Structure 1
Amino acid sequence: MRAQFPPILALVIACALVAGCGSDLSVVPPVDPIAQIMNKPRYTSAKSQWSMVVMDASTGQVLDSLQPDTLFLTGSVRKLYSVGTALDLLGADHRFQTPVYRNGTLDASGKLTGDLILKASGDLTFGGRQKPDGTIDFTDFDHNEARGFNGAILTPEDPLTALNDLAAQVRASGITAVSGDVIVDDRLFDAFRVPNGNVLISPILVNENLIDVTLAPGVSAGQPGALDWRPRTSAMTLQGTTITTAAQSGGGAMGAADIVVSGDAFDAGPLSCLATPGCTATVSGEAGLGSPASISLGYVSPLVGNPLYVSNLRVEDPPSFARTAFIDALARAGVTVSAPAVQRNASARLPSAQTYSAATQVASFTSLPYSELSKLILKVSLNTGANLSLMYQGLAQGVKTVGDALSTERKYLTGTLGLDGAGFDFPSNGSGTPDSRATARTTATLLTTMSRRPVQAAYRNALPILGVDGSLAAIGNDVEGKQHILVKSGATVSNGQMIAMNMAGYIDAKSGRRLAYALFVNNAGPVAALTDTLEVFDDEARILGIVYAKY
Structure 2
Amino acid sequence: MRTIGPLLCAMWSFMLLVGCNHESKDRRAVPADIQAIFDRELYRESVWALRVVDLDSGEVLYDQNSEDSLFIGSVRKVFTIGETLEALGPEFRFRTPVHRRGIVRDDGVLEGDLILVAKGDFTMGGRRSPDGTMAITNLDHNEANTLGNAILTSPNPLWGFDSLAAQVAGSGIKAVNGEVVIDDRLFQPFEFREEFMVSPIFVNDDLIDLVIRPTRPGKLAEVEHRPLSQAFTVTSELTTALPGEGERVELAPNLADGLGAGGSSGAVAGRLPADFVPPITESWPWVRTFRITEPANYARTVFIEALQRAGVKIVNAQAVGSNRSDLLPPRDTYTAETLQAELESLPFAEYAKFVLKVSYNIGSDTSLMLWGLTQGCDNLEDALALEREHLVGKIGIPESEFHFVDGSGGGPTTATNTAVLQMLKYNAESSFFPQFLDSLPVLGGDGPLAFFTDFESDPTLAGAKGNAYAKTGTFAIGSKDGILLKGQSLAGFIDTQHGRRLMYSLTVNNVQLSNDVQELLKVSQDQSTITAILWRDH
TM-score scaled by structure 1? 0.88
Q: How much does 1:299 deviate?
A: 4.2
| Equivalent in the alignment of 1:289 | none
1:88-127 alignment runs, 5 A limit: 88-127=86-125
User: What amino acid is the match of 2:103?
Assistant: T
1:231-272 alpha-carbon deviations (Å, 9 max, x no partner)? 111102111223333455xxxxxx96432222137xxxx982
Partner of 2:332: 354
Distance 1:284 1:490, change over 3 A: same
Q: Is the 8 A contact 1:235 1:324 kept in 2?
A: yes
Aligned length: 501
Q: 2:53 maps to what in 1?
A: 55
Matched residue of 2:115: which SS?
A: strand
Residue of structure 1 aligned with 2:507, choices 495, 515, 520: 520
**Which AA in structure 2 matches 1:171?**
A
Residues of 2 paired with 1:380 and 1:527: CA distance? 26
Tell me by how many angstroms 1:352 deviates: 0.5
**What is aligned with 1:156?**
154
Match of 1:137 among 135, 138, 141: 135
CA distance in 1, matches of 2:98, 2:158: 16
Structure 1 position 506 matched with structure 2 position 483: no
Matched-pair contact (CA < 8 Å) for 2:28–2:60: no
Residues 167, 256 of structure 1: alpha-carbon distance in 2 compared, 3 angstrom cutoff:
farther
State the 1:66 CA deviation. Answer: 0.4
Shift of 1:109: 0.8
Per-residue CA distance 1:115-146 (angstroms, 9 max, x = gap): 10000011111111110000011111100000
Q: For 2:223, which of 216, 223, 227 is the aligned residue?
A: 227
Matches within 5 A, 1:393-404: 393-404=371-382
Q: What's 2:422 paired with?
A: 445
Name the SS for the 1:525 alignment partner.
strand
* Runs of 5+ consecutive residues of structure 2 not aligned to the other structure: 1-26, 456-460
- Which residue of 2 is the match for residue 486 of structure 1? 469
Q: Is the 8 A contact 1:151 1:306 kept in 2?
A: no
- In structure 2, how many angstroms separate the alpha carbons of the residues matched to 1:62 and 1:463? 23
Contact 1:271-1:316 within 8 A present in 2 as well: no
Match of 1:379 among 357, 368, 377: 357
**Aligned residue in 2 for 1:23:** none
| Partner Cα distance (2:32, 2:432) in 1 | 37
Contact map agreement 1:390 1:405 (CA 8 A) in 2: yes
Residue aligning to 1:315: 292
Aligned residue number for residue 42 of structure 1: 42
Supply the AA of the counterpart residue of 1:214: V
Identity of aligned residues (%): 37
Q: Secondary structure of the residue that 1:81 maps to in structure 2? A: helix
Partner of 2:23: none
Give the secondary-structure state (helix, strand or coil) at the position aligned to 2:134.
coil
Q: CA deviation at 1:325?
A: 0.4
2:516 to 514, 529, 532: 529
2:208 counterpart residue number = 211
Q: Which protein is bigger by CA-based radius of gyration?
A: 1
Is the counterpart of residue 276 in structure 1 residue 262 in structure 2? yes
> Quick check: 1:414 aligned with 2:401?
no
Structure showing greater relative contact order (alpha-carbon pairs closer than 8 Å, 6 or more residues apart)? 2
Which residue does 1:390 correspond to in 2? 368
Q: Is the 8 A contact 1:85 1:413 kept in 2?
A: no
Query: What's the secondary structure of 2:394's corresponding residue?
Result: coil
1:215 shift after superposition: 1.4
Q: What is the aligned partner in structure 1 of residue 32 from structure 2? A: 32
TM superposition shift of 1:449:
1.8
- In the superposition, relative to structure 1, how do residues 260 and 276 fare at CA in structure 2: closer, same or farther (>3 Å)? same
Question: How far apart in 2 are the matches of 1:61 and 1:450?
Answer: 18
Looking at structure 1, the residues matched to 186 and 39 of structure 2 have their Cα atoms a distance apart, in angstroms, of 49
SS, match of residue 135 in structure 1: coil
Aligned-pair RMSD on alpha carbons?
Answer: 1.8
TM superposition shift of 1:205: 0.5
- 2:253 alignment counterpart: 263
- 2:154 and 2:59 map into 1 onto residues whose CA distance is 45
SS at match of 2:429: coil
Q: Indicate conservation of the 8 Å contact 2:259/2:292, yes or no.
A: no
Contact 1:299–1:308, Cα closer than 8 Å, also in 2: no
Question: What does residue 235 of structure 2 align with?
Answer: 239
Change (3 A) 1:215 1:489: same
SS in structure 1 opposite 2:381? helix
Whichever residue aligns with residue 490 of structure 1, its letter is G
Per-residue deviation, 1:88: 1.2
Aligned mates of 2:421, 2:497 — CA distance in 1: 19
| Counterpart position of 2:444 | 467
Structure 1 CA distance, aligned partners of 2:228 and 2:524? Answer: 38
**Contact between 1:263 and 1:271, CA under 8 Å: does it hold in 2?**
no
3-state DSSP of counterpart to 1:138: coil
State the match for 2:18 in structure 1: none
| Residues 72 and 409 in structure 2, CA contact (< 8 A), matched pair in contact too | yes
SS in 1 for 2:466: helix
Q: Tell me how far apart the structure 1 counterparts of residues 259 and 392 of structure 2 sit (CA, whole Å).
A: 43
CA distance in 1 between partners of 2:180 and 2:330 (Å): 16
Q: CA deviation at 1:159?
A: 0.8
Structure 1 counterpart of 2:367, one-letter code: S
C-alpha distance in structure 2 between counterparts of 1:142 and 1:492, whole Å: 18
Task: Tell me the distance in 2 between the aligned counterparts of 1:527 and 1:232.
Answer: 40
**Higher mean displacement: 222-231 or 411-420:** 411-420
State how far apart, in whole Å, the 1-side matches of 2:499 and 2:393 are.
31
State the alpha-carbon separation in 2 of the partners of residues 91 and 415 from structure 1.
21
Counterpart contact for 2:29–2:62, Cα < 8 Å: no
State whether residues 259 and 291 of structure 2, in contact with CA within 8 Å, keep that contact through their aligned partners in structure 1: no
1:370 aligned to which of 333, 344, 348:
348
The answer for the alignment partner of 1:335 in structure 2 is 312
Question: What is the SS of the residue equivalent to 2:103?
Answer: strand
Q: Give the aligned residue type for 1:275.
A: A
SS class of match (1:241): strand
- CA–CA distance in structure 1, aligned partners of residues 391 and 195 of structure 2: 28
Match of 1:457? 434
